[in-house]
Amino acid sequence: MKKLNTFLITFLLTIAGYGQRSQSDAIVTVDVRTNYPKKELILQDFMDVEYIALKTNDNFLTEGEVLAIGKEYIFVKNRNNDGDIFIFDRIGTGLRKFNRLGRGPGEYLSINEFFLDEDNGEIFVSDYRGISVYDLYGKFKRSLSSRERTSFIHMYNYDNDNFICLGRDAVFNTKSVSTHPFFIVSKHDGSIHKEIHIPFIERAPRGVQVRTDNGGWQMSVITSFFHSLIPYNSDWILTMHTSDTVFRYLPDYSKRPFIVKTPPSKSMKQETFLFPGVLTDFYYFMIVLKEDSGTKSPWPTVPNHPVMTTTNLVYDKKERSIFTSTVYNSDFSNKRQVSMFQKTAGNSEIAFWHKIEADELVASYKKGELKGKLKEVAAELEEDSNPIIMFVKYKN
């Protein structure tokens, strides 16, 4: 009887666990016509936050545009694409820098995409001609050409031999939409291991003018402004603005719906898009873009591009409900908002990063607006110090 009871308990726990996973992984349906209730969230309640001050000296003056964060290293560059690549350790100490800007063999025209393969001791720099591969000291190793019909952007580690990426033509080719926008590509020679098909419609425009929530304007090619490729646990979230469905791509090369937008785009008179943002064990963050036909373009030179308004949404996995969301960083006493649509770090530790300018923090410190660890970091800064990098990490 004891053995039977033990078996029964184990069986019931297994079924219960399966049910929980099934609920957690259920397809989320978002009706873009609905005015969802509001929910305010504190970032530190569901994520861990760490601040790294990039230490400043004459050899390591940088604008701190983060390229990649690994287990041991932080890679950053300047905004002006001068070719400098700075390497800091994980506490912000400058280790080395290199520059391979040029048109010759082993050089890059610019740093358009950057991929770190720390396990293999390699970095990949894409300049739209192809991809140049270097070791962690900047020594050139090989080139990956884009001779197989496309060049690649939004690169992430897929496995030891391949990365997963978005084809550049799927974003910037205005004449047609690729039926296979995502690729699994060899790290060794750039050959395409697998093409991933996403169903799409042909109606969606290629570019839009985005009016942000704070009243500012931003011009963007829509699939480069939002992130079409997001790592999520051991899977991948695949999004195209030409599709009403966000897909989850599994390690066995299968895919299934993850988020579905309703009503379908073909049935709507005005363009509406749905993109996922940061995905956690507690929340799925999303953004909805709606065409605003009542707003005139601020740029007469592009009058035919639709103007879009944005709405931030969150799916609460515990409540299984959708809300209009605002997220605040509690280390600021004046309710500083945090965007949940940052570029994903691509590892199991860090969800995303955010750069904070030193002069901004110094000003907030003098006003008494900072708390906790951020206040301690700001107390050591000068206005002309290197930026501070905020790591937003998954809670253990």
Mean pLDDT score, 94-105:
95
**How much is the pLDDT for 166?**
85
Distance separating alpha carbons of residues 108 and 77, to the nearest angstrom = 14
240 compared with 274, residue with greater pLDDT: 274
In the chain, where are the structural domains located? 31-58+201-396, 62-197
pLDDT(23) > 50: no
Q: What percent of the chain has pLDDT over 90?
A: 60
The alpha carbons of the chain give a radius of gyration, in whole angstroms, of: 22
Residue 206 has pLDDT above 50, yes or no: no
Among the CATH numbers 3.40.50.300, 2.120.10.30, 3.30.365.10, 3.40.50.10610, which is that of 62-197? 2.120.10.30
Looking at residue 168, what is its pLDDT?
A: 67
Predicted confidence at residue 294, as pLDDT, reads 64
> Out of 57-71, 218-232, 309-323, which region has the weakest mean confidence (pLDDT)?
218-232
Residue 116 has pLDDT above 70, yes or no: yes
Q: Are strands 307-316 and 321-329 parallel, antiparallel or unpaired?
A: antiparallel
**Phi and psi, residue 382, nearest 5°:** -110, 160
Token pair 């944005």 is at which residue?
Answer: 310
Tell me what the mean pLDDT of segment 66-92 comes to.
Answer: 95
Of the candidates 56, 66, 88, the one whose C-alpha atom is nearest the C-alpha of residue 386 is 56
- DSSP track, 94-128: EEEEEE-BSSSTT-BS--SEEEEETTTTEEEEE-S
- When pLDDT is averaged across residues 152-181 and rounded to a whole number, the result is 73
pLDDT mean over 181-191: 91
pLDDT at 176 over 80: no
pLDDT at 169: 62
CA distances from 179 to 46, 65, 183, 351 (A): 37, 33, 11, 29
In this prediction, residue 299 has a pLDDT band, given cuts at 50, 70 and 90, of: low
Q: 2: pLDDT confidence band, cut at 50, 70 and 90?
A: very low
Question: Which of left, alpha, beta for 373 (phi over 0: left; psi -120 to 50: alpha)?
Answer: alpha
pLDDT confidence tier of residue 93, bands split at 50, 70 and 90: very high
Share of the chain above pLDDT 70, in %: 79
The four Cα atoms 68, 73, 74, 80 give a dihedral, to 10 degrees, of -80
Find all residues with CB under 8 Å of 41, minimum gap 6, and list them. Answer: 283, 314, 325, 326, 327, 328
Evaluate if residue 53 carries a pLDDT over 90: yes
